[in-house]
Amino acid sequence: MTREQKLQYHLEIVLSESLPYGTRINARQMKILVGMATDEQIEAAYQRALVHSPLLLDDERRPV
């Protein structure tokens, strides 16, 4: 996986957690939400990646 793919995975989780409980969206809708993500949501995804999984290699741990 590339760095961008790893961060997109976490961004999708951040975005889905911000939706009202029980909201169902499909892949096309998620792609639209990812494209509209705010800087705060992108930063939250980066921080989540650092905390929740060791997916980011040392050379990938640079600010977004």
Question: Phi, psi at residue 36, to the nearest 5°?
Answer: -100, 10
The pLDDT value recorded for residue 46 is 85
The pLDDT value recorded for residue 4 is 81
Query: Angle between the 39-52 and 3-18 helix axes, to the nearest 10 degrees?
Result: 110
Total number of domains constituting the chain? 1
The pLDDT value recorded for residue 17 is 94
pTM greater than 0.85: no
Cβ-defined contacts of 50-57 (< 8 Å, 24+): 52/10, 55/1, 55/6, 55/9, 56/3, 56/6
The whole domain housing 8 covers: 3-60
The mean pLDDT values, 10 residues at a time, for the chain of 64 residues are 83 95 95 96 89 66 59
